[in-house]
Structure 1
Amino acid sequence: MKTVYSPLHAGHAGQMELVTSAIVPGFEKPSRAEFIKARVESERLGPIVLPLEHDLAAAKRIHKSDYVDFLPTVWPQWVEAGLKGTAMPFTWPTRGLRGDVPPKRIDALLGYYSFDAGATFVEGTWAAIKSSYDVALTAAGLVKDGDASAFALCRPPGHHAGAGFMGGYCYINNAAVAAQWFRDQGAARVSILDVDYHHGNGTQEIFYDRADVQVLNLHGDPLVEYPFFLGHADEGGAGEGEGFNVNYPMPFGTDWDAWNASLEDACAKLAAYAPDVVIVSLGVDTFEKDPISQFRLKTTDYPKIGRRVARLGLPTLFVMEGGYAVEEIGINAVGVLTGFEDR
């Protein structure tokens, strides 16, 4: 299995984020990708290749054009305004406020285009976002050209980014971009299997009324877990998309047996849908030692995930999402991939 990786991710470093009680250094840090890359190398998973450059047309197939155009301008606008430190929002349009007129100040625009203060900017953030996007499309190209699988080592991740908003460390939805790209290249149906601990709210929002992209999410119960406002079991899609969005919210403390029951059901639904390609939004923050998650999967469980996905017998693109137990993230993420290859 080839891995696509860009060193430009490292420019997104030292950013701050707002959590429940404080502004703190971002949990989404460069060491995440470096631990995974080192494990890919030590396990001899396969060649590591640099991404090809892509224009932003594929991003605008699933994101709003004004949102995509905004992202490269954030840091220059922040500096031009004379602001210091991490660029982050502090005001959001919500119930009772107008959200149809974009403001002119950069700190307010950040709120207009986001749903939290987790997707923040420093000088190298846009280059990292663009490289992550290039990584996803390059890996998708490998699968289209005949590779049975490929690993897009994306950083920053993408599955919380919606059509017109960022959040949860995510800016461009790499898995969604890849899904639309496969459709544009001739795939009749695509399935996205999101195994990240946190619900892929952006992916759900993008494809909710579509029948050509199936979205299956295994995640923490949104009544008590981020991102809180999507991910309930009764969210099954709308219009033409009814029945093609499937959520598996699970309680704190979920272990392998309970989690795997959801995986089995999701894989059965995926097989029945019979897609031309599978995209796995690969988050390993389901790990028992993850600092911001509450599931109880163990390192020995991750190869089992890969083996189950392999049994689908379909071309598969793995797109890296979350996972914050940095010392173990490489072992667990690559464990899924070696399991897929039945090593």
Structure 2
Amino acid sequence: MKAFLDDRQRAHDPKHFMANGAQQPNPEVPRRVEILAEGARAAGCHFETPADAGLGPIAAVHTAEYITFLRNIYTRWRRIEGAGEEVIPNIHPANRTDGYPKSAVGQAGWHQADTACPIAEHTYEAAYWSAQSAVAGADHLIGGGRMAYALSRPPGHHAFEALAGGFCFFNNSGIAAERLRAAGLRPAIVDVDVHHGNGTQGMFYGRGDVLTVSIHADPARFYPFFWGHAQERGEGAGLGANLNLPLARGTDDAGYMAALGTALERCDSFGADVIVVALGLDASIDDPFQGLAVTQEGFTRIGAALAATGRGLLFVQEGGYVSDTLGANLTCALKGAMGG
């Protein structure tokens, strides 16, 4: 399988995030790249460095104002006397129809949804090349390829069009789907991360030309809390083009595969001819977030079920954090898709 990764994606090295009122080590570490690349190679992937497609594919789904913020905020932040080493907001607007401030502190609160997306010196560069990896994967399918893997890190599915969150800055899966749609394809995004793809949902919620489906731990008591409930179906032109399949904490392989079957039935009804798989591996029984209980065999079955649709598949890396089985879970998913 063709795979894409740029070494500059390793440069983003966040130190902290806040959870439950406490500062904790950030689990979205550069070491993920090493583990995931090894897992992909074990599945038979051959990595290429993505071409630079420019800002166009990113700006197709993210606002110019937001891109400007990400490019410049770290430099501006370092001018603040006594500021921390990473950009972490301490105030947020009640809603984003409120006034847009000039202050770096105020803009951080506007464009960062939570305290789990710290921005450091190399964050923009790494996020840019993470997005380019996803674009290269989309271009491979546009050119006639049937399957590709983008090792996109930092991940992307919690990023809205003008909002970072949950370790995510540019929405790589959304960028890839829009690239495919612009080329005349009809894409579905199937998100198998343990967390709901709230940024992806928000990005396409009013549109009917990209199907968004997310299988995830029930957000009633799990991040991102405010999105991912079953009644969220889209709005306007997008009504019926969003499907959420929340699962009880600890759901195993059997329960997960039943939900995936429902997701793929919706892809059939939508008439999708290509699927962007937002490939979170944190549904694993071994993942530190402990939301669901998918085994290595389960990941093999997930990959096989996706391949059995006969559609073009672009796997875009989302979550999945350091554990003894992280690399093996990726190997299983990709081998399952390749029939191994």
| 1:99 to partner: Cα distance | 4.5
In structure 1, distance between residues paired with 2:125 and 2:59: 17
8 Å CA contact 1:174–1:319 kept in 2: the answer is yes
Paired position in structure 2 for 1:331: 328
1:206-221 pair list within 5 angstroms:
206-221=203-218
Paired position in structure 2 for 1:8: 8
Identify which range, 251-260 or 192-201, moves more after superposition: 251-260
Paired position in structure 2 for 1:142: 140
Say yes or no: does 1:70 pair with 2:69.
yes
What stretches of structure 1 of length at least 5 have no aligned partner? none
Paired position in structure 1 for 2:93: 93
Paired position in structure 2 for 1:322: 319
Q: Which amino acid aligns with 2:151?
A: L
Q: Which amino acid aligns with 1:156?
A: P
What stretches of structure 2 of length at least 5 have no aligned partner? none
Q: Which amino acid aligns with 1:55?
A: G
In structure 1, distance between residues paired with 2:76 and 2:24: 23
8 Å CA contact 1:99–1:112 kept in 2: the answer is no
> Which whole-Å deviations, capped at 9, do the CAs of 1:236-288 have from their partners, x for residues lacking one?
11111111100001111111111111111111111222212110000010111
Say yes or no: does 1:224 pair with 2:221.
yes
1:1-343 pair list within 5 angstroms:
1-43=1-43, 45-82=44-81, 83-94=83-94, 99-187=97-185, 189-343=186-340
Which secondary structure does the structure 1 equivalent of 2:219 belong to? coil
Q: Which amino acid aligns with 1:79?
A: R
> Which whole-Å deviations, capped at 9, do the CAs of 1:107-139 have from their partners, x for residues lacking one?
221111121111111111111111101111011
Which secondary structure does the structure 1 equivalent of 2:220 belong to? coil
> Which whole-Å deviations, capped at 9, do the CAs of 1:57-90 have from their partners, x for residues lacking one?
2212111210112111121111222434222111
| 1:179 to partner: Cα distance | 0.8
Q: Aligned-pair RMSD on alpha carbons?
A: 1.3
Which secondary structure does the structure 1 equivalent of 2:302 belong to? helix
| 1:6 to partner: Cα distance | 1.2
Which secondary structure does the structure 2 equivalent of 1:327 belong to? coil
In structure 1, distance between residues paired with 2:79 and 2:282: 37
| 1:164 to partner: Cα distance | 1.2
Which secondary structure does the structure 2 equivalent of 1:223 belong to? helix
In structure 1, distance between residues paired with 2:216 and 2:84: 36
User: Identity rate of aligned residues, in percent?
Assistant: 34
8 Å CA contact 2:306–2:337 kept in 1: the answer is yes
List structure 1 segments (4+ residues) > 6 angstroms apart after TM superposition. none
8 Å CA contact 2:196–2:217 kept in 1: the answer is yes
| Number of equivalences | 339
